[in-house]
Structure 1
Amino acid sequence: MNGAPALDFDPASMLLLNIIMACMMFGVSLSLRLEDFRRIARAPVTPVVGLVAQFLLLPAATCLVTWWLHIDAELALGMILVSACPGGSFSNVMTWLARGNLAVSVSMTAVSSLAATIMTPLNFALYGWLNPHTRAYLTEISLEPGSVLWLVLLVLALPMAVGMITGRRFPGLVERSEKPLRVISLLVFLGFVAIAFSRNVDLFLAQFHSFFWLVVGHNLLALLLGYGMARLCRLAESDRRAVTLEVGIQNSGLGLVILFTFFPNAGGMLLITAFWGVWHLVSGLTLSQYWARRPLPADDPALAPATIKEQLS
C-alpha cells in the first residue's frame, strides 16, 4: 500500500483536531491532583506494571509482529504510532464501568500522558527504525522527533497543566463540567472521525480489507498484554481490569494530530489510526460491560471502604 492515496483533509480541519485534542485533555485533567502522582510514588507497583506494558511491551510487540508478518510499511507505521501513544482518557470511564481500580486508572492516565511527551516520539522513531520494512519509509517521510515533541507538549502537557490548575482553583467547576466534557469530547471526536471517513469513503472501502483486521488484532494484542502483565505480577482483580483497559485504550486522537500535522499524505497510517479511534471504544465498552457483570472477589482491595471513598471523591 505504499503510495496509497492521501486522505482529503484540509488545514482548517487539522487545526480543529488539535483544538479537540487539547480540550479533551483539559477536561480530563480538571479532576487530576498532585495526589494522583504521589499515589504512584507511595505504591508504585500496579501503575508501573501498566506503564511497562504501555510504553515498553506494546511498542516492542507491535514492531515484532509487523516485521514478522511483513505488513506494508504505511500500515505498520500506523500501528507503531498508535502503540507509542499514551492511554486514552476514556479508559477511566471504562474502568469505572468495569468495577476496576479507578485510582490506578487515573494515575496511569496522568503519568502516561506526561511520559508521552518524550516516549511517544522516541518509541515511534525507534521502532519505526528497528523494523527493516518501515525503516526506509520512515526515512522518506523525514521524521523530526523534536517537532513531534513540541506538538505533544502543546496538545497534552500544556492542557493538562492548565486543567489541573483550573480544577484546583475552581472545584465547583469540576463537579459541574467533568461528565458533560467527557461526553461532548467523545461525541465531537467520533463526529470528526465520521466526517473524515465520509469525505474519503472510496479510499475507506477500497482499503477496508487491509486495515480492519489489523486494528482488531492489534487492539486485542494490547488488551492481552495489559491483562497478561497484570496477572503475571499477581495484581488484584480490580487492578488487572484497570491496567488492561489502560493499555488497550490508546490515545489515537494524539496519533491523528501527529499524522495530520507531519504526514498528511500517509493514507495507510491515517486509516489505521482513525479506525483505532473508533474500534477501541467498541472493544473497551464491550469488555467493561462484561466485567461489570462479574463482581470482584470479596477480598479485593478496591472493595475496602477507604478505597471506595477515595475513588468516589
Structure 2
Amino acid sequence: MKQLEQISHFFSKYFALIVIFVSIIAFAAPGAFGWIGAYITVLLGIVMFGMGTTMKLSDFTLVAKKPAPVFIGLLAQFLIMPLTAFAIAYLFHLPPELAAGLVLVGACPGGTASNVMVYLSRGDVPVSVAMTSVSTMLAPVLTPLIVLLLAGQWLPVSAGEMFMSIVQVIIIPVILGIAARKLLPGAVEKGTAVLPLVSVTAIMLIVTAVVALNAENLITSGAAVFSAVILHNGFGLALGYLTAKWVGLDETKRRAISMEVGMQNSGLGAALAAAHFSPLAALPSAIFSVWHNISGPALVSFWNRTGRKEASRNNSVTEAG
C-alpha cells in the first residue's frame, strides 16, 4: 500500500508532464490507443465515483449558511466560460465541431483539480468544494441547456440525450461514491491514498484516446485549438478573480472562484463530445485537461510568491515602526 501511495503521489505531482508524454506517443502511434475511445464514458464514471468518495453532504450546507460567494462563483462559472468559448470560437473561425467542443467544455462544471489548486494557493477551500459539488449536481440541466443555446448553430444538439448521459456518467457515480463513503468509511479511507492514481490514469487514458482519434486533425487544426484553449482558460481564471474582486469578496474567495471558473471538468467535456458530436469535438476538452494542469500550478506559484513578498514588506514596515 505504501508503494502505491508513492506512485499515486508521483502521478499526481507530474500529471501534466505524464499526459503530454503519453499524448505524444498516442499521436505518433494512434492505432495503439484509438480503441480506448469506446471506454471513455466508463473511465469518466470511475473518476466521478472517486470524486463522490471525497464529497460529503456537509459540502452542500455551506451554500445554505453562506450562499453569496458560492452563488456568485456559480453564476460566473456558467456565464463566463461558455460565453468566452463562444466569442473565441467566432474570433478564431473554428470549424463547427471544434467550436461546439470549445463551448461544451466551457459549459461543464468544475473539477476536483481546482480544489487542490485552491488549497495550495491558500484560498477558501470550503467555497471551492461547495462550488464543485453544486456545479456538478447542476450540470445535467445547465450543461445541455447552455450547449443547445450557444452551440446549436454549429451542430445539432439533443439536450435530452445529453441530460441522460450526464446523469449516467456523473450523477449516479457521484451518488454511489457518497454512499460508499457513508456506508463503508473504513474501506474508503484505506483507498483514499490511491484514488488520485486511479483518477489520473483514467483521465490520461481519455486524453490519449482523443489524441489518437484526432492525430490527423491535430496536424491541420492543432495550433488554432491550442491557442483557443489557452485563451479560454486564461480568461476564465482572470475574469473569475476579477468578478469576485468586483463584488467585494476577500482574497481567499477570489482565488477559489478564479480556480473554479477557470478549471473545468474536461473529462466530462471529452466524454459528452465523443458521445454526442464527434472525436474532433472532444479535442478542445483533451487539450484543456492538459493545459489547466499547467496554468493552475503556475498561478498558485505566482500567488504564493506575491504573498511572501507582501508578508516580507509588512514585516519590514513593522520592524521599522
Q: Does TM-score exceed 0.5, indicating one fold?
A: yes
Q: What is the rounded CA distance, in whole Å, between the counterparts of 2:252 and 2:187 in structure 1?
A: 29
SS at match of 1:235: coil
What is the aligned counterpart of 2:208 among 194, 197, 222? Answer: 194
Please give the per-residue CA displacement for 1:147-185, whole angstroms capped at 9, x wherever unaligned.
110000011111111111111122233332234212331
Q: What is the rounded CA distance, in whole Å, between the counterparts of 1:64 and 1:201 in structure 2?
A: 26
Matched, 1:287 2:299: yes
What is the aligned counterpart of 2:236 among 211, 217, 222? Answer: 222
Q: What is the rounded CA distance, in whole Å, between the counterparts of 1:71 and 1:55 in structure 2?
A: 22
Letter matched to residue 277 of structure 1? S
Matched, 1:117 2:131: no
Q: How does 1:27-176 map to 2 (within 5 A)?
A: 27-129=50-152, 135=153, 137-138=154-155, 142-176=156-190
Q: What is the rounded CA distance, in whole Å, between the counterparts of 1:26 and 1:259 in structure 2?
A: 20
TM-superposed CA distance for 1:9, in Å, is: 10
Q: What is the rounded CA distance, in whole Å, between the counterparts of 1:193 and 1:50 in structure 2?
A: 28
Q: Are the structure 2 counterparts of residues 9 and 261 from structure 1 closer, same or farther at C-alpha, using a change threshold of 3 Å?
A: farther
**5+ long unaligned stretches in structure 1:** 1-6, 130-134, 299-313
CA contact (8 A) 1:28 1:178 kept: no
Matched with 1:180 is: 194
CA contact (8 A) 2:41 2:169 kept: yes
CA contact (8 A) 1:66 1:76 kept: yes
Q: Are the structure 2 counterparts of residues 157 and 11 from structure 1 closer, same or farther at C-alpha, using a change threshold of 3 Å?
A: farther
Letter matched to residue 227 of structure 1? Y
CA contact (8 A) 2:44 2:267 kept: yes
Matched with 2:274 is: 260
SS at match of 1:290: helix
Matched, 1:251 2:260: no
- Alpha-carbon RMSD across the aligned residues, in angstroms, is 2.4
Q: Are the structure 2 counterparts of residues 243 and 11 from structure 1 closer, same or farther at C-alpha, using a change threshold of 3 Å?
A: same
Matched, 1:238 2:261: no
**5+ long unaligned stretches in structure 2:** 1-29, 312-321
TM-superposed CA distance for 1:61, in Å, is: 3.1
Single out whichever of 280-289 and 187-196 deviates more from structure 2: 187-196
What is the aligned counterpart of 2:42 among 8, 11, 19? Answer: 19
Please give the per-residue CA displacement for 1:120-155, whole angstroms capped at 9, x wherever unaligned.
1000011124xxxxx1x32xxx32111110000011
Q: What is the rounded CA distance, in whole Å, between the counterparts of 1:202 and 1:67 in structure 2?
A: 23
Give the length in aligned residue pairs: 281
TM-superposed CA distance for 1:41, in Å, is: 0.9
TM-superposed CA distance for 1:8, in Å, is: 7.5
Please give the per-residue CA displacement for 1:106-131, whole angstroms capped at 9, x wherever unaligned.
111110000001001000011124xx
Matched with 1:3 is: none
Q: What is the rounded CA distance, in whole Å, between the counterparts of 2:206 and 2:159 in structure 1?
A: 26
Q: What is the rounded CA distance, in whole Å, between the counterparts of 1:159 and 1:290 in structure 2?
A: 35
Letter matched to residue 272 of structure 1? P
CA contact (8 A) 1:190 1:278 kept: no
Q: What is the rounded CA distance, in whole Å, between the counterparts of 1:24 and 1:31 in structure 2?
A: 11
TM-score normalized by the length of structure 1: 0.82
Letter matched to residue 201 of structure 1? A
CA contact (8 A) 1:14 1:257 kept: no
SS at match of 1:197: helix
CA contact (8 A) 1:29 1:161 kept: yes
Q: What is the rounded CA distance, in whole Å, between the counterparts of 1:14 and 1:65 in structure 2?
A: 27
TM-superposed CA distance for 1:15, in Å, is: 4.1
Q: What is the rounded CA distance, in whole Å, between the counterparts of 1:228 and 1:90 in structure 2?
A: 21
Q: What is the rounded CA distance, in whole Å, between the counterparts of 1:148 and 1:11 in structure 2?
A: 23
TM-score normalized by the length of structure 2: 0.80
Matched with 2:290 is: 278
Q: Are the structure 2 counterparts of residues 15 and 256 from structure 1 closer, same or farther at C-alpha, using a change threshold of 3 Å?
A: same
Q: Are the structure 2 counterparts of residues 21 and 9 from structure 1 closer, same or farther at C-alpha, using a change threshold of 3 Å?
A: farther
